[in-house]
Structure 1
C-alpha cells in the first residue's frame, strides 16, 4: 500500500506540475512541507496566501502536525496529497476515501445525504446511514449510523487569528457491533465555512485533525476588504 501511495503521489505531482510550469518550484516547495518532521509545521498567514494551491494542516493521532496540498478538484471532491505518499479525498470536508493511512477508507456510500454537506444548519435533519468498506482485514458492507448535535459559541484559533464557530458533534454507531466513535466539525459562525474537523474513517482508524488554512486565509482577507470599504465610506 505504501509503495502504491508513493507511485500515485509521484504520478499526480508530475501531472500537476506539468500543467503549469510557472508554478513548479513554488508548488513543490509547498508539498515538501508535508514530510514527516519531529516538530509541528507552522505556516504564517502570508505563506498560506502566497501558496499556489490550497493547504491544510493535518495531525494523525498525536504525531507532529504536517501539511497537505490540494492537487485536484473533480466530481465535487477535493483530493489532498502529502509528500510522504498519503492521499485524502474529501467531499464538503468529509473524508470519503484515503490512501496511505492505517485502516484506509476504500468506499463510503450515500454521501449525498450527509448533513455536513449542508453545514451546521442541517445537523438536526435526522440520522445519516451509509455503507462503508475498510482496508482493515478487508472489511466491507458495514452500515454506520450518525446522529448530530450542534454546540454554540466555540472559539477556534487559526493562523494566529480567532474565529467564532459553530461546533457540530457527530456520534457514529457501527450497526450490529458495539463500535462507536465521535467526529467533530467546526464551522465559521457567520459564513458556515468549515475551518476544522476531527474525523475517524472507521473504529480502527487513526484520528485525523484537519485545519483548512486557505479557507481561513480567505475569510481573513474578506474581513480586511470589508474593513477597508467601511473606512472608505466614512
Structure 2
C-alpha cells in the first residue's frame, strides 16, 4: 500500500504540494455528527513522515502515523467517521451498556483504507499484501469496554475473514495481559500509558501472534498500537497524533 508520505513540514508549508478533497454532508464535523470529510495530502519522498506538534495541531482533522512492517512512516488523516452499527453479531455491533464507538476510516492517496474501531483494525481495503474483510463476535471487544478498568474481561473470542485466499470464518481466541505502565513520545511530548499485549491464537492454522496496545490510563483510548490484522497479513503500527473527538 502506497500510504500518503510527507517529509518534515516547515512552518509555512511552503514546500508542500497539498491537495485537499473535502466532501461534506449535512451536519458534518469532527465533533461527530456523521463526519464525511475526505482530505488527502501528497508530497513525494521516501523518508519517514515527521510533522511538528504545531503542524499537526494546525490541521482541523484527526490524524495518525502509520507504518506497515518496516516500511516508511506515513502521515494519514481521518477520511470518514461513521456512527452506525453493522447487521448481525459483530464487533461493530456493541451490546449492553457499552457505547458504540465510531468506525474511523483512514485513506491513503492510492485509495487504500484502514478502518479502526476502539483502536482495533477491523477492516482494510486495497492493501497489496492482503486485507482483513471482517471481524465478528457475540461478545463485546474488551477494547470497547476499556482495558484500563479492572473488571473488564481480558479474554475474547471472535471469527475472522481475510484475503487473499479463501479465509472465512476462522475462529480466534484473544487474551490480553497487562504489562504495566510505560512512557512513550507522541507529538514531541512524553505520554504516560498502560501497555497491554494481546495474544491471538487461531487453532485451525496452529498459529498465534501478538498485538500491542498503549492506552490512556484515564479513558482507555488507544494512543498507539502494533497489530497483525490477520495471520498472514503484515503488522501495521498506528500512532494517534490528534484523536477523533
CA RMSD of aligned residues (A): 2.5
> Deviation of residue 17 (structure 1)?
3.3
> For residue 42 of structure 1, what is the aligned residue in structure 2?
50
**Contact (CA 8 Å) 1:193, 1:215: kept in 2 or not?**
no
TM norm structure 1: 0.76
Question: Could you tell me which of 31, 36, 52 is aligned with 2:40?
Answer: 31
> Deviation of residue 127 (structure 1)?
1.9
How far, CA to CA, are the matches of 2:79 and 2:69 in structure 1?
24
Question: Could you tell me which of 177, 201, 212 is aligned with 1:184?
Answer: 212
Question: Could you tell me which of 185, 190, 211 is aligned with 2:239?
Answer: 211
Change (3 A) 1:112 1:73: farther
> For residue 14 of structure 2, what is the aligned residue in structure 1?
none
**Contact (CA 8 Å) 1:36, 1:84: kept in 2 or not?**
no
> Deviation of residue 191 (structure 1)?
3.8
Number of residue-to-residue matches in the alignment = 197
> For residue 103 of structure 1, what is the aligned residue in structure 2?
130
> For residue 70 of structure 1, what is the aligned residue in structure 2?
78
Change (3 A) 1:109 1:190: same
Would you say 1:174 and 2:202 are equivalent positions?
A: yes
How far, CA to CA, are the matches of 1:181 and 1:141 in structure 2?
18
Kindly provide the CA deviation profile for residues 7-43 of structure 1, in whole angstroms up to 9, marking residues without a partner as x: xxxxxx85x43559xxxxxx88x6224x673100011
Change (3 A) 1:189 1:121: closer
Would you say 1:116 and 2:143 are equivalent positions?
A: yes
Larger helix proportion, structure 1 or 2?
1
Unaligned runs of 5+ in 2: 2-19, 27-36, 85-101
Unaligned runs of 5+ in 1: 3-12, 21-26, 219-234
Secondary structure of 2:168's partner? coil
How far, CA to CA, are the matches of 1:84 and 1:208 in structure 2?
17
Change (3 A) 1:176 1:211: same
1:138-157 aligned within 5 A: 138-157=166-185
